[in-house]
Amino acid sequence: MDPIDAQIKRALVAFAVEKALINMGEPVFEKVAKTLKDDYNCYIPDCYEHPEYLKRILSDLYGNAHVAIIVSIKNSLEEFSQHESISRFISVLE
């Protein structure tokens, strides 16, 4: 994969995740970002490579309510889901 292409996809995923979290409220975004850092020493853009981190954190913090966040992320990425790496990211979250 072209490194620029990978950077663009990583940025798209980071934007979709940040947008979904901020739409749930600034404290939600901050709590998820802090937990990513504390538990995995990574940041929101790193979720592109490790969607399982995000899935576990959302599930642990928000129980069944995490589904609404995942749906929001999925909707934001829908037009890019034909790309294998984006599709994989979405499937790991589900």
- Answer yes or no: is pLDDT of 1 > 90: no
Hey, what are 13's tokens? 């995923």
Q: Terminal CA-to-CA distance of the chain, rounded, Å? A: 24
Phi, psi of 83 (to 5 degrees): -75, 130
- Answer yes or no: is pLDDT of 17 > 90: yes
DSSP state letter for 81: T
Give the pLDDT confidence of 47-58 residue by residue, as tens digits: 999 999 999 999
Q: Could you give the CA distance from residue 60 to residue 84 in angstroms, rounded to a whole number?
A: 27
Q: Among 1-5, 37-41, 53-57, 81-85, which is the least confidently predicted range?
A: 1-5
- Answer yes or no: is pLDDT of 90 > 80: yes
pTM of the model: 0.93
